[in-house]
Chain A
Amino acid sequence: MKRFYALAILCLVSIAAFSACRKFLPENRYLTRQDSPRRDRSSTADALAKFDHRAHGAVFAEQSVQCVDCHAFDLKLNVGDGDLADALSAHGLHRGSEACHTCHGPPQRTVATAPDRCTTCHDNLGPIMPDNHNGAWQRVHGSIASGEGQSCASCHNQTFCVNCHQRRDEIQTQVHERNFRFFHSVEARANPRKCGVCHRVDFCSNCHERSRAKGG
């Protein structure tokens, strides 16, 4: 029992120490990147940074995409300075996501061959997360996902679903906390349908029959 209390105290002390270090040791690289897209959780700058004009050249020509379709001006920049041209070019983009989403992503899509997965361009999915991915989303997502699987697939791959629903992990806690097994019957009898989303009857029988056989 002493070891148990010692570790619980160690947890609390570690939390306090790491939190305090943030205040007293602000020299670490993360905190000095004041303007990085990673710091700003509401930014989609990561997607813009990934855009490669040259890679799009051929498809723009093929689809007759003009400069004014994306930029608020109609002239070619030939300043002899690549960085300056990039900065001017980005500055002149139409506001919002229109410039990209005219081709990429339903329902505005006009170029059928443009990849439509969110992760094609966005690493930081926080700012573009749908409104319903909040609050009780983890508990109710099945109602939406069962009918709109294709919508889910625009950001998530199959592994994302399987990782919770099918992957069995006896080392890390994934869906249920460690304590859950000691009172799982309370939730199971409250909502037995919910267990069946991931588990079959065999999952119950396997442990309960074993403990019955041992007289437990």
Chain B
Amino acid sequence: MRRARLAWCAIALVLGAARAGAADLDATLKYLSQVRDGDLTRQTEFPNQLYGHLGAYALPYESEIEGFFRAGYDFGLGRGGGDLYLASARVPGAVEGLDLTVGRQWLNESLGGALVADGGTLRVGGDGPLQATVFGGVPRYFEPTYGVEKQSQNESVFGGSIEDDDFGDGRLEVGYFQQYRKGKTLRQLVSANVTQEYANVVGRPNFYGSFAFDASQASVDFGNVGVNLVFDEMNLRFNLEGNYYQPQDRGRSRPEIDINRREDGIFELFSVSEMWQVRTGLRYQVNPEISAYADYSFQDYASVVGEREVGHVASVGAVWLPENDGLELVRAEYYVADSGGGNVNGGKVLYENRVYEQLTLRAKLDLAYYDKATNQNGIAFSSLLGVAYEVAEGVTCGMSLEALHNRRFDADIRVGFGVIYEFGRRTLRRRAVGRTQS
């Protein structure tokens, strides 16, 4: 109930701002529904979800308000719930050089990880090359998906960073991130992040690197070095990077027997010591219509049972854009993974068609063979056929049919419905572009 009230508050805030003379509104309401047989519940499930993104921009002092929520109810299982992902206000122009964001916001600062938190972020420095940021808040998690919420969320984070956008041929940021749980320090990260780009050197190399030291554990939490290369004449793009991680507590506790550690990253479940990773990817544009890509990553870590675990994940694929106008897309990919958990080989094909102005067609096929360490093996096949039609300006209705074959179901048929309503800035822009075309 509390979340529902928060969601309605966010909507009221945005609509109120609009009535008060907001120059720029942007909103998307997406209703999705599906009828299926539940593979865990073994009942007919009928989930209905409403996702809403509401934004008001160009308010006084260049302010912005942004909200994003989910509200849903399953008529088959008779239960529902909701999430308020974002409800924040940004004020970049009230005081020159200060940019303030308050409320529930996306927080990805000082290498502390990608979080949503209730709090505030203040940036100082305006448009100059030197900027400082301070932030703080209470992290919010939106799991579990399939059950009742039982996480303790008694956490808080705070920190700051100083950024120099004019550092050599790139930028440098040094930061601090502290995380508490139930009054105890969980992490104290002292971090640095640097990028250097050499636009006049062959391959236009863009080097990047990050490093975080956890003072509370007296250990290196994270290290990363990578390079992006672009060879325009060869139509080739290449990326190579190496990573190093350590679990927060270096294996001193086991999360699966400590219910208070359910909020921890999944890394803690598997590893007791450091993990090394090398990954690489390349993309080659054969011609304007066809491009090919390949990715590979290698991981090595010590598992909770004291053995070294090695993992390989790779994919290779091609994208075809007939006539290079973006109205049709065909993507085919082969993927493979191999680890202590077993191995999987699979292939998938995606086709999208937007040739007809109000109509979108999408079809997907995915076939995989897996052989797991738990002696489970088999074939999983999924297919989807979806059609969407724009019935009015900004209103799109869609329907999808999925057929799945897997260990749970010999043949699982799912029928989905959806309505998307967009209004405001995005719709008006499309209209404006349409006028210039006709």
Interface residues in chain A, defined as those with a beta carbon under 8 Å from any beta carbon in chain B: 1-4, 7-8, 10-12, 14-15, 18-19, 21-22, 28-31, 33, 36-41, 45-46, 49-50, 106-107, 109, 112, 115-116, 123, 126, 131-132, 134-137, 139-140, 142-150, 157-159, 161-163, 165-172, 177-179, 182-183, 185-193, 195-207, 210-211
Contact = CB atoms under 8 A, between A and B. Distances in A.
B277 A191 contact: yes
Q: Which secondary structure characterizes the binding site on chain A?
A: helix
Contacts of A170: 47, 49, 145-146
Interface in B305-357: 309, 311-313, 321-322, 324-328, 337-344, 346, 348, 351, 353-357
Contact of A140 (B239, B340, B351, B367): B239
Nearest to A112: B127
Given A148-B195, A179-B346, A186 B372 contact: yes
Contacts of A168: 70, 83, 142-143, 145
B195 A182 contact: no
A29 B409 CA distance: 43
B341 A167 contact: no
Contacts of B243: 143
Given A187-B337, A196-B267, A177 B361 contact: no
A207 B40 contact: yes
Contact of B433 (A2, A37, A136, A211): A37
Contacts of A188: 266, 270, 341
23 contacts: A3-B413, A4-B405, A4-B411, A7-B402, A41-B325, A112-B127, A123-B433, A136-B280, A140-B241, A144-B208, A150-B163, A158-B86, A159-B53, A159-B86, A161-B108, A169-B51, A187-B313, A190-B337, A196-B268, A200-B264, A202-B263, A204-B266, A210-B147
Given A134-B237, A161-B106, A190 B339 contact: yes
A109 B173 CA distance: 21
Q: Which secondary structure characterizes the binding site on chain B?
A: strand
B142 A139 contact: no
Interface-centre pick from B230, B311, B312, B324 (highest chain A CB count, 10 A): B311
A193 B267 contact: yes
Nearest to B45: A170
B256 interface: yes
Q: Nearest 5 pairs between A and B by C-beta?
A: A190-B311, A136-B281, A196-B265, A147-B193, A135-B283
Contacts of A22: 322, 327-328, 353, 355
B167 interface: no
A135 B237 contact: yes
A182 B228 contact: no
Nearest to B129: A107
B385 A11 contact: yes
Contacts of A135: 237-239, 281-283, 293, 295
Contact of B401 (A7, A39, A45): A7
B32 A171 contact: yes
B25 interface: no
A112 B126 contact: yes
B108 A146 contact: yes
A130 to B, nearest CB: 9
Interface string B47-83: 1010101010000001000101010000000000001
Contact of A201 (B32, B108, B228, B266): B266
Contacts of A185: 341-342, 372-374
B396 interface: no
B311 A191 contact: yes
A146 B378 CA distance: 38
Interface stretch (B1-9, B13-21, B109-117, B179-187): B109-117
A105 to B, nearest CB: 10
B210 interface: yes
Interface-centre pick from A1, A15, A38, A202 (highest chain B CB count, 10 A): A202
A150 B109 CA distance: 10
Interface string B260-289: 011111111111000101011111000000
Contacts of A50: 429, 432-433
Nearest to A1: B411
Contacts of A200: 141, 143, 151, 262-266
Nearest to A202: B262
A179 B363 contact: no
Interface-centre pick from B106, B109, B237, B282 (highest chain A CB count, 10 A): B106
B403 to A, nearest CB: 4
Contact of B355 (A31, A45, A204): A31
Nearest to B401: A7
A199 B361 CA distance: 31
Interface string B123-138: 1001100010000000
B219 interface: no
B105 interface: yes
